[in-house]
Homo-oligomer: A and B are copies of this chain.
Amino acid sequence: MALVVQKFGGTSVGSVERIRNVARRAIDTQRAGHRVVLIVSAMSGETNRLLGLAHEVARVPDARELDALAATGEQVSAALTAMAVQSEGGKARSLLGHQIKIHTDDAFTKARIRAIEGSRIFETLDRGEIAVVAGFQGVDAQGNITTLGRGGSDTSAVAVAAAIGADECEIYTDVDGVYTTDPNICPSARKIDRISYEEMLELASLGAKVLQIRSVEIAMKYGVRVHVRSSFNDSPGTLVTKEDEALEGVVVSGVAYDKGEARVHVVGVDDRPGVAAELFERIAEKNVSVDMIVQNVTTDADPRASITFTLGKTDLARARPWIEEIARSLGAREVRYDEDVVKVSIVGLGMRSHSGIAAKMFRILANEGINIQAIATSEIRVSCLVAAKYTELAVRSLHDGFGLGGPRA
């Protein structure tokens, strides 16, 4: 007998008929001898409807009230799902964030979970009931309702699974699992059967939006086995798990891309120690995250340095005026911007024990005539910034070049 957490997103509970499907799946799991905790999101469209009302009422709605408002979406889903389980012949009970309790800090609209009490869930399971937990929500020390931010139901699910020591946390979604790259641009993309937390973190943060990155961090921290799978069929999906459970021998697990960054090129600053430090310290003061950084070497012909970095496109507009101000104060000749760039990354645990992976990546891109504008690496990832028009070509050539199209070893 296993203890299983099953999380269903907004699409999976988007209609009365789909809620019934969720109920039947949970009952089937229970009848197969397991104890089941469901985590449900708001019905698709409901959160947007509620936030729309809020913005009709107030130009800048209060964060505490936004959370009290938005949390009703998951409360409705949880109550309806519990009713559906009962209607299908099972036993169930809805549990809200303040009932369980899911303790969070008081950072309304983006609260972080501090602790989860398991006793109310176990009482429910001990009565033979399916516990239907409203995702996305918690309660702060004062009893105010908080929410975990968009996609927070994944976080709720993994955190609840960790708190009650669940054997597995199943994340039901509208895709079959995690893919080696985006199937929309690379037809040979293949579903990954097993992947380590570390790889999933690199893939998630790079834009493969299957799992909320925070939920993967929590899963890794507490060793929760996460199973990403489709709510529309019974096929096994992708198991996100500890490194030693993930398969050996694979060098590169996936190819990700991210069009969300813009390149900033600060030309001709003084070539003295501390210039780069000063530049990035002052940018950090403005609370803007910088990703890839390249400092050009100076030559005798041009003794002035130039620095390239990327930052989120959404930050660029507000950052431009003071980036230019900082650059001027550092003696820069000019600042150039380029939003037509894409960051293409290869991710894989195997990189740690295989040399030459980065070189192979550069060679594959070079063979396609793709110029690399910046490079960033981590222990298990290599990222290259290239012109956006090469996105599909770069992803496909890397995916096939690293043998991801074939059956996995």
Closest to A123 in B: B142
Q: In the bound complex, how far is the Cα of B58 from the Cα of A230, in angstroms?
A: 25
Interface presence of A50 (CB below 8 A): yes
Question: What number of copies of this chain does the assembly contain?
Answer: 2
Of B58, B75, B80, the residue contacting A87 (CB under 8 A) is: B58
On whether the beta carbons of A57 and B87 are closer than 8 Å, the reply is: yes
Q: Report Cα–Cα, A69/B76, bound state, in Å.
A: 5
Q: Nearest-CB distance from A333 to chain B (Å)?
A: 47
Interface residues of A in 43-98 (CB under 8 A from B): 50, 53-54, 56-59, 61-62, 64-66, 68-69, 71-72, 75-76, 78-80, 82-84, 86-87, 93-94, 96, 98
Q: What per-residue 1/0 map shows which CB atoms of A275-304 lie under 8 Å from chain B? A: 000000000000000000000000000000
Q: Is A16 an interface residue (CB 8 A)?
A: yes
Size category, A interface: 35 or more
Complex contacts, A53 vs chain B, CB 8 Å: 16, 76, 80
What B residues does A62 contact at CB under 8 A?
82-83, 86
| A99 interface residue (CB < 8 Å to B) | yes
- Interfacial chain B residues near A54, Cβ < 8 Å: 79-80, 83
* A19 at the B interface (CB under 8 A): yes
Given contacts A62-B82, A62-B83, whether A57 and B19 have CB atoms under 8 Å apart is yes
Among A19, A58, A71, A98: residue with most chain B CB under 10 A: A58
Verify B79–A68 contact, CB threshold 8 A: yes
Given contacts A54-B80, A87-B57, contact A94 B68 (CB under 8 A): yes
| Chain A interface helix/strand/loop/mixed | helix
The answer for the CA separation of A78 and B83 in the assembled complex, in Å, is 25
Counting CB contacts under 8 A, is A143 at the interface? Answer: yes
Contact indicator A84/B98 (Cβ below 8 Å)? no
Is there contact, CB below 8 Å, between B69 and A57? no
Binary CB contact string for chain A from 2 to 17 against chain B (1 if under 8 A, 0 otherwise): 0000000000000010
The reply to whether A143 and B72 contact each other, CB–CB distance below 8 Å, is no
Contact of A57 with B16 at beta-carbon distance under 8 Å, contacts A69-B75, A69-B79, A80-B69 already known: yes
9 smallest A-B Cβ distances: which pairs? A58-B87, A69-B79, A72-B72, A68-B79, A58-B83, A16-B56, A65-B79, A61-B83, A65-B82
17 of the cross-chain contacts (CB-CB < 8 Å) are: A16-B53, A16-B56, A53-B76, A54-B79, A58-B86, A59-B87, A61-B83, A65-B80, A65-B86, A68-B79, A69-B79, A69-B80, A71-B75, A96-B145, A98-B98, A99-B143, A99-B144
Q: 18 other contacts beyond A57-B87, A65-B86, A66-B83, with CB at 8 A cut-off?
A: A16-B57, A19-B57, A20-B57, A50-B76, A54-B80, A57-B80, A57-B83, A58-B84, A62-B83, A62-B86, A68-B78, A68-B94, A69-B80, A71-B75, A72-B75, A75-B75, A98-B98, A98-B143
A residues neighboring B (CB under 8 Å):
16, 19-20, 50, 53-54, 56-59, 61-62, 64-66, 68-69, 71-72, 75-76, 78-80, 82-84, 86-87, 93-94, 96, 98-99, 143-145
